[in-house]
Amino acid sequence: MMPLTEIDRLKQTVSEHWDSPVADQVAAQWRYPAGTARWWLMHANGGAGARGGGRRQRAQ
């Protein structure tokens, strides 16, 4: 589980448009273009989402 302090640190990277350079780095592992990952869900395990082929895909 991700500690709450780490979740808070990640949340600090999220803009008012729900994007994050950290989420982009993770999404790049699946070849998503920069700027497509969005803050989607946050719980103790963390999560982000990106659209692929018109469908939302979840990366954890």
Predicted model pTM: 0.59
Q: What is the pLDDT of residue 39?
A: 78
Alpha-carbon distance 25 to 31, whole Å? 10
Sequence-distant (6+) residues with CB within 8 A of 21 are 13
**8-24 per-position pLDDT tens digit:** 888 899 999 889 999 89
Model confidence pLDDT, tens digit, residues 21-57 = 998 998 899 998 988 888 766 555 556 666 666 555 5
What are the domain boundaries of the chain? 4-59
